[in-house]
Structure 1
Amino acid sequence: MMTVVEAPSVPRVLIAEADPWAREMLNELVLDVRCDAQLDVCSDGKQAVELMRGYIPDLVIASRELPGVDGLSLLRGVRLLRRQPPVRFILLSNRNDSASVREAVQLAPTAYLTKPLNMEGLRHRLETLLLQDGAQVACEIPALAPGVGLDGFLEKRREVADGGPLFVDVAQAVARSKGAAGVDLKLLEQELINDPHVTAVLIAAANSASQHQGKPQQTLGQALALLGATQSANLVQGLALKRGAILTDPSLILQASEIWDVSRRTAGYARILARTLELDHERCYCAGLLRGLGDLAVIRCLQDWLHAGGTLDDATIARALEQYSAAFGSALRTRWRLPLELRELIAAVYQYNTGVYTREVLAMNLAGQMGRLGVEDPLEALAKSKSARLLKIGASDLERVRNKLVA
């Protein structure tokens, strides 16, 4: 059911954007302004043309650099329809030179916005175009279909889950990262470095096909450097717009906090061990942080289950995590196309996948075991593990690693 308060008729919006992460950000931004909007989303101009053969949208948001039929040609075709009033069309582009701007302006776009986008400026335009006179729209979360149980709900969500909830307040993180010249990448990295979901999304975005990079980006720092300050800030702010990004249920918050704590400990131990062994400590830190992606994705889906009218208790939460976390994590890492080397290190936190025990794999496995221990738990048994023995790390060495993290 949907409740509308002083709202205009439901708008139909077409988004055409090749980059999957920018496309998702635009999708969430439109829904944040008009949660009831009917959205059609496509990745190339030909799909957009096919969609518009069936209807004319109230608003088109299209990238100039679309494959197939580019956004400028799409705008030209829409203007040839000679609709009155003209179809509202926001053209996004990487080009800001005067010739490119003049070429577009001749076709009278509603707005010509250059990338990376100004999120607040775009939001303001969308509010002007999709709302009238301060109208507000409230949309209720759809209720569960009759007869749907938690297992069926989670099975259906496994391949489409949005990832985990946010650990950091991204609005504050971006605000604290701004200086006189705009967002400072180093400050932004410091603000986001402990958030598994943000880290995974930025790495995935940096490795998307639209970036045209041969070398995979495997750390948060590498991803931020490639994406740039504005695009990175836009992406993380877009994550906060998604439903379920912020946990509200106390039991789920407690469970997520425990997962975050283990992940941060694992990441910290992985970084210290990697430095000691002269390995890639940033990549090892990142792999340790991402160990709990599947657990956190399940937690977020459980919150959606609650909001849709389902019920939970501690035993049900524990069972869902045990049964579904590994599958959710695997599905996310594959769908987001995280680099294979990074995926192997994440997997090594739990077990060895192959008979080839690289020093990084062994270090990650050892960090994973340490991360699951309490700060007062003895380390003698861990020093006898296969990973510690192959790395020639004794109990006293492990104690020094733990002391460095605690300090």
Structure 2
Amino acid sequence: MTAVDLPAVPRVLIAEADPWSRDLLKQVLLNVRCDARLDVCADGQHAATLLGEKTYDLILADWELPGVDGLSLLRSVRQKRRSLPFILLSSRSDSASVREALPLAPTAYLTRPLNMESLTQRLQDLLLNEGESVYCQIPALAPGMTLPAFLERRREVCDGAPLRVDVKAAVQSSLGPEGLDLQQLEDLVRMDPQITAVLIAAANSAGYHGTPVQTLHAALNKLVPGQSMNLILGLALKHNVVLGDPGLVAYAERHWQLSEDSAEYARRLARMLELDHQRCYSACILHRLGDLALLRSLEDWRQGGGALDDEAIGESLDAFGAAYGSALRIRWRLPLELRQLIAGIYSLEGGVYSREALVVNLAVQMARLTEHEGLEELAASKTARLLKVGLSELTRVRKT
């Protein structure tokens, strides 16, 4: 495909087994051509079926696809369309694998972790004329659409929370002569619920096995550093990751601060009681994820032409915030143990609950106190008594 025969609106096939890598490829491509018609699949057989049904202008496929692998797809394509752009992705960087692929003339052979700048440049060369850019207008709301109906539809497809952290700056600050400093990166992004949730979810996806990951620290150390960096940077490419409405920003700031304060109190309490402080921190950082995701959906509503005021924001949070959080945690397949710990923040009624659940519950109660409220009532609460912490311990946690 050259500059003289580029399609007006390209049709692209992405075949990638890992859901988070698949989403990242989709976002990078849409950032280059937001109008592209995308078909996305998770296995080679589905990709082969689509190739038999439709004509594509570009294919991105992973060599390690289940069923029909990416190299077999490339071989099949080359039997029919020698010049069709085909980007083959692979974790194989050895010379034997490269020699096996090159006779099939892939447009590019990219090894993991992907160089995102290189991939973006490749896509620009294939999908845009020199100096060209494509602008996609935000679609207007359907006639007669109400805010509750809009939020109900968005609940199962929302893309998570807005970003609190400048991810490009965080990654740049963490890059040194020896590569990515994971500890420094963790310190810079750990207060961001969206980054924490996505990396934990990615570290628990099908491509990674072993003990379920429940903390940002464990996720960063389980993922390949380059993959962590790409996933974090990819979040900045998504729609509405930065809120534009001042009212929504004010609500987001309050939820972010509550999450961070809760997490810090939970970390201190857990350390004092010799419990898993990273897991407690993680649960508290994530416990307002649904409310934040709802605010991002309200930004979509506003940009689509919907009216929005402070009363509507508050009512929407009350009606949908918890449901958005539950839907996200299930859809992103966060570990059951982590979801149960987050649930302990909201309710300790019935059943048997862990000491970590008591810690996060108490930490959130502490974070909700105003600066003028004392700790006496909290120290006398059932949660504090079960943990066997009194006023002196809570005072130390608050002042540390």
TM-score w.r.t. the length of structure 2 is 0.97
Q: RMSD of the alignment, in Å?
A: 1.1
SS at match of 2:135: strand
2:178 equivalent among 177, 181, 185? 181
Aligned to 2:58: 59
Task: Quote the offset at 1:357 in angstroms.
Answer: 2.7
CA distance in 2, matches of 1:293, 1:151: 19
Superposition pairs of residues 2-401 of structure 1, within 5 angstroms: 9-83=8-82, 86-211=83-208, 213-352=209-348, 354-401=350-397
SS at match of 1:14: strand
Task: Quote the offset at 1:348 in angstroms.
Answer: 1.1
CA distance in 2, matches of 1:381, 1:155: 38
CA distance in 2, matches of 1:82, 1:126: 19
Identity of aligned residues (%): 59
Q: How far does the alpha carbon of each residue in 1:202-233 deviate from its partner, in whole angstroms, 9 at most, with x for none? A: 0000001111x120111101101111211001
Task: Quote the offset at 1:354 in angstroms.
Answer: 4.2
Q: How far does the alpha carbon of each residue in 1:292-340 deviate from its partner, in whole angstroms, 9 at most, with x for none? A: 0110010000000001110110010000001101100000111111111
Corresponding pairs, count: 395
Code of the aligned partner of 2:248: L
SS at match of 1:56: coil
CA distance in 1, matches of 2:44, 2:306: 40
> Does the CA-based 8 Å contact 2:161-2:241 persist in structure 1?
yes
Code of the aligned partner of 1:110: T
* 1:240–1:353 distance in 2 versus 1, CA, 3 Å: farther
Task: Quote the offset at 1:396 in angstroms.
Answer: 2.1
Task: Quote the offset at 1:8 in angstroms.
Answer: 5.5
CA distance in 2, matches of 1:284, 1:375: 23
SS at match of 1:138: coil
> Does the CA-based 8 Å contact 1:63-1:92 persist in structure 2?
yes
SS at match of 1:375: coil
CA distance in 1, matches of 2:108, 2:270: 49
Task: Quote the offset at 1:184 in angstroms.
Answer: 1.5
Task: Quote the offset at 1:372 in angstroms.
Answer: 1.1
Code of the aligned partner of 1:386: K
62-71 or 336-345: bigger deviation: 336-345
CA distance in 2, matches of 1:52, 1:8: 18
> Does the CA-based 8 Å contact 2:163-2:194 persist in structure 1?
yes
Code of the aligned partner of 1:176: S
Aligned to 2:3: none
CA distance in 1, matches of 2:199, 2:214: 10
Code of the aligned partner of 1:63: D
CA distance in 1, matches of 2:343, 2:385: 20
Which 4+ residue blocks in structure 1 deviate beyond 6 angstroms? Answer: none
TM-score w.r.t. the length of structure 1 is 0.95
Code of the aligned partner of 2:50: L
Code of the aligned partner of 2:135: A
Code of the aligned partner of 1:161: C
Aligned to 1:3: none
CA distance in 2, matches of 1:319, 1:384: 32
SS at match of 1:137: coil
CA distance in 1, matches of 2:365, 2:259: 11
Gaps of 5+ in 2: 1-5
